[in-house]
Each structure stands twice: as C-alpha cells, then as structure tokens.
Structure 1
Amino acid sequence: MRHQILLDVDTGRDDALAIMFAMRHPDIDVHAITCVAGNTSAANAAANTLRILDLVEAPPIPVAVGAQRPLIEPLRDASWIHGPNGLGDVDLPVSGRGIEPVHAVELMRRCLLSSEARLTVIALGPMTNVALLLRTYPEVAGRIERIIFMGGSATVGNATPAAEFNFWHDPEAAHIVLTSGIPLTMYGWDILWSMRTGAHQIAELCDSADQVRQIAGRLLAFAAADPANGSPVIYDCIGDAGVLCVMAAPELFGIESRPVQVVLTPGPARGQTIVDQREMAGEDSAHGMTAPVPLVDVVTSASNNEVLAMFLETLDGRCGCDNGASHHAER
C-alpha cells in the first residue's frame, strides 16, 4: 500500500537515515518536511534536511522551520551525540534548495487540508511542532490518519534514567499529542536501541560505491565523546529510521495497545513515559485513584535482522514493495 506522510524531524544523524529511507522507499509519498529543535537547532535541522534531500536527488519537497525551543523548557539539544551541526563528521555541500517562507505549523496545515487523502504524521523529534499544530488548528486533527512517533520508552530512558530524549525535551508537547484522540503508534527508545547495526554492515556501507550508502555508513560510525567521562560512544543503530520501518512493514514488529501517559511534574521522573503493561487492575483502580489514560499502539518487539535487511535494501533501491520505482507526491 502507498503511504502519504508528513515528516517532522530534528535532523541529526538518525533523522538523516530516516529521510534517506523515505525518499528511496517506492511506496512512501512525502508531502512535506518540517523541522524542530531537538538533536540540534531548528535551523541546523532544516539545513541538514536540505543537504540530505540533495544527496538522495529528491524531487522538490517543501521544507519549513518550526519551533526553536520547547513549549516550557529551555533548549537543550543533543549535539554531543550528533555533532555540532547534527550530522556527526559528515560535511555535505550547502544546498541550493529554499526553505518555505512560512512556519512549519502553517505548512503542515496547508498540506493536511489540500491533500485528497488523510496523511500520516511521522514525528521523529520532540513533538513541539505537532502540539502547536493541534492547539492552533484543532480542526486538522480529522485530516491526520495516524501519528507514528519516536519517543518514550517502556523500560529505561536515555536523557535521564527514566526519560527518553524527545519526551524529556518537551513533555508538555508529548502530553498534548498523547491526549489528542488521534490514533498513535509509539516507537520507543527501548526498541530503537535494540536495532543495532554490526561493524561489518557499517564497513560495507562505508566501502560502497554508492554515495548514499557511504554517507549512511559514516553517520552510523560516528564516535561521540561521553559527556560524563569522555570515552567514545558509537550510536550505531538506525534510530529514527525504524519508525518508517514500522509504517512500511508492521508485520516485522510486535505491537500492543497499552495505556500511555507522560510525567509532567518536576523531578527525576519528568518526561518519563508510563506504559501500563499490567494484565489486571490494581489498587489504583480499586480505590478510585485512576483517570482515563489514552491507549497507544506501542511497539514492543522487532524482528531485528529482517528490519535491518529491509532498511539496507531500501537504501540500495532493492526494496520489494508494491512497485519497483520510487514515487513521491506531486506538489
């Protein structure tokens, strides 16, 4: 089946891999890309997005800059793991493509209202842009097929012991999206971090004659310095690209409908996702202490080898999908 999508990104290294996948997958139509602060600044995210679109020789796709900080918190980016400009040590030429002269929220609204089909929103960074869209133009919610997001975790965090980065960066935005009533799929840190590539796969990418594969290999191989002790950290998983894999091949993942909420209170748990995995009611229900919590389709497991194979085949242009040639929405 064809997938009509809006991409909302904070283009660091794994968002770049996701854009590569989306542009080379034959059954994904990208209507627009909006950029938010997160892995790097919103301006860097937009510049990186344009560079990656050039790299994959994408057709003209509208790109807009959105929120430059969270709704409440100050900007605290993840440049330590993504490099100063967000793409590790990859230095691509400045793009000649232009940025749309409107805010990301306006571009999202325009695309949602003008599309014949409802669109799936793929949210790969903090959900500030998506939250602002739903608060500013609540009438567009009915034009969204589903929001599939990278965020949260059913186990441990990465920004803190409890909280995953995107939710920690803007918990209020995550809460707005979780309680929007729009169908949601959560691809959390616990699943993302399990989708690791091997050294041999990275080496094959880096040695490829195809420039897209070479750059993908370098993005995966980048070694950051641990801010606690300076030791090298290699973020060698396909990261945000896994969200698009869930959309393209849900049969490769275990998905369960679970109540999910995010902690908004100050303290060490701020930004934590509470995924209720109980099989029976507890004392909170027995004593009338519960309030309705939205149900979210939570990715709980993945066929890692098959997912990685699909990702690499898509980069190669060998994905066996509905047709054999890449196609993107006419604009």
Structure 2
Amino acid sequence: MTGQPIPVIIDCDTGVDDALALLFAVRHPGLDLRAVTCVAGNTDVDGVVRNTLTVLEAAGAGDIPVGRGAERPLIEPARSARHVHGLDGMGDLGLPAPNRNPADVDAVTLLRREILASPRPVTLIPTAPLTNIALLLRTHPEVTRNIERIVFMGGAVATGNATPVAEFNVWHDPEAAAVLLTAGVPITMYGLDVFQRVVVPGADVRRLQASAEPGARLAGRLLAHRPAAPDPDGDDPAGGLGDAGAVCAVADPAGLTTQRLPVEVSLAPGPSRGQTIVDRRPRPGESEIHEGAREQALVDVGLDVDVERYVKLWLATVEG
C-alpha cells in the first residue's frame, strides 16, 4: 500500500450488504473511515443505527461516529426492504444489541463536520437511498469544496429491481438522487449492472461462517442469508457482495470499468419513476435537435467489473 489512506464516509441503510461494505471499509488499510451516517431504507432508521453499531463492534472498529439521519424520503413515505434483509434488516440472525452509542448530532450535521474537518478531501460512499446526501447538499453546499468524489450504489443502465427500470435506492427517493446528480463534484454510479455480478463462491462463504474471528464469521453468516447465485461447483449457494463492491471500487478503482455519460432521474409519476436514464447514444437524437438539450449530469457509470479481483480483495481484507 502506498500513499495516505483515502478519507471516506459511508452513508448507509444497514442491511446485509451494507454490513459487508462496513466490514471491508473498517479493515482495508487504504481507507480511513471517518464516519457512518444512517438513513431509512432496508429497514427503519433506528434499526439501521442499531445494525451499524453492531457491525462496527464486530469489525473491531475504533471510535467511528455514527449519525442518525432521515426517517423517510423527501416526498414519499418510507418503504423498507425487509422482505430481502429480514425484519431486523440483518437477516434476523439474532445479533446482540450493540454496546456503542450513536453520535449526539444528526447525520447531516455529522456529515458537514467530518467533511470540513478532514485534512484531505473526502470520498462519500452512499449505499442507501440518498435522502441524507440531498439534505446535506441543499443545507450545506460549502461541503463540496472538500469532497473528492461521490461513489454511490444506485441506479441501473439496464434492468431495475424495485421496478422493471428502477433500482431500489434511487426509486426509494428519486428527488434526492436528482439532487445528488447536481452536486458539482465528480460522481461514480455503481449500479445494478455491476452490483449483481460480484459474488463470493459458496466454499468461501462456508469458510467465513466457520471462522473464529467475529467479523469474518458475521460476514459469512450475512452472505449465507441472501444467496445470490448457484455456486460454480454446484454444491451450495454463493453470496453477493452487493454494496461492498462500491467500497471495493474506491479502494481499487482499476477493477471497475466506467464510461462518462449523461444521466438523469425520472421524477414523473408512473412506471418509469426512479429510473436512471443513462444516455449511451453516440450522437444527439431528434429530441435534442427539435427541443434542445436537457440539463443532464455527466457521471462515471460502472459498466463492467473484474469480479474475481474484487472478490479476492474483499476476502483478503475481511479475513485479515
């Protein structure tokens, strides 16, 4: 490892794969996790705070502040993903209550404080609905001067999961995602197109489950809770890294192939709401010719990923 660690802040809705992201961020020597902020998404915000504190304890993290954020999206009601992540958001594994306490300030205040206090520009990694980030950018736009990049897990070029075209994090709060795209800082979109491909083989999942080390064992239990695909050997299910891949992309950007493309979020009611519309055309079409170009953000969109590279990186980091 060369150079100084990258200062990062994760904004999450800790369910299963957010937990895998936190375990990696705490243990990777090239990342300096300065804070974690919590938002409603996979489960309610109080559950997210509890889960986040539990994971940081299991990871052996230092005194990393955790901030409680938005209880619901900017406009819509909260809509959880408990059917995926369990009633508690963590696979209903019966994990103990944390001994740690959250920070005495809210998530937006914590984000502002830690971003402006960092001696080097911060990389923000939202792995959740983007409500906290939108509130931060609208309330404290001065933070952008000390943000290096925002690498967010959200959106999709091709197929959605919340709807046929919309990914859950963006669908949960489309207006917040639209605010993010106007942040005025470099943005990387780690969307479903790459998110769904990074899968830990079943043999590795079983090894983690049998580990005597609390963080690695928790990682194995979480991966086993939500199998992503049949194991290549056909013996048992493999586990998807999900959100953790976005943090891998910060630690090792060369594993992610991106293209800078115009992106906008569909905000209209109806079946396209929450879609990230990624313009991959080589030249303008009739709409632009006749109506003029719309304002679109240029985003580094993840189109391909070195799966083996990120799986090896995540396993080596979490297992130590």
Q: Same fold (TM over 0.5)?
A: yes
Residue 280 of structure 1 and its aligned partner are, at CA, apart by 1.9
Superposed CA deviations along residues 164-207 of structure 1, whole A, max 9, x for unmatched, are 00000000000000112111000001210111222222222212
Superposed CA deviations along residues 90-145 of structure 1, whole A, max 9, x for unmatched, are 22221121111211000111112222211111101001000000111111121211
Provide the TM-score with structure 2 as the length reference. Answer: 0.93
Alignment coverage as a number of residue pairs: 308
Letter in 2 for 1:85: D
Residue 285 of structure 1 and its aligned partner are, at CA, apart by 2.2
Q: Which residue matches 1:116?
A: 119
Residue 223 of structure 1 and its aligned partner are, at CA, apart by 4.8
Helix, strand or coil: the match of 1:236? strand
Distance between the aligned counterparts of 2:266 and 2:25, measured in 1? 32
1:136 to 139, 146, 154: 139
Letter in 2 for 1:204: R
Q: Which residue matches 1:30?
A: 33
Q: Which residue matches 2:301?
A: 298
Distance between the aligned counterparts of 2:92 and 2:221, measured in 1? 8
Letter in 1 for 2:125: I
Residue 220 of structure 1 and its aligned partner are, at CA, apart by 1.1
Q: Is 1:12 matched up with 2:15?
A: yes
Q: Is 1:100 matched up with 2:130?
A: no
Q: 1:9 to 1:235 in 2, by over 3 A?
A: farther
Q: Which moved more, 1:210-219 or 1:119-128?
A: 210-219
Output aligned runs, 1:27-176, within 5 Å.
27-176=30-179
Letter in 2 for 1:120: T
Superposed CA deviations along residues 214-257 of structure 1, whole A, max 9, x for unmatched, are 21111111159xxxxxxxxx893101100111111111111110
Output aligned runs, 1:292-331, within 5 Å.
292-317=295-320
Identity of aligned residues (%): 47
Distance between the aligned counterparts of 1:5 and 1:174, measured in 2? 20
Residue 46 of structure 1 and its aligned partner are, at CA, apart by 0.6
Q: Is 1:274 matched up with 2:277?
A: yes
Letter in 1 for 2:16: R
Superposed CA deviations along residues 306-328 of structure 1, whole A, max 9, x for unmatched, are 110111011122xxxxxxxxxxx
Distance between the aligned counterparts of 1:77 and 1:236, measured in 2? 21
Helix, strand or coil: the match of 1:5? strand
Runs of 4 or more, structure 1, over 4 Å off, are none
2:255 to 252, 257, 262: 252
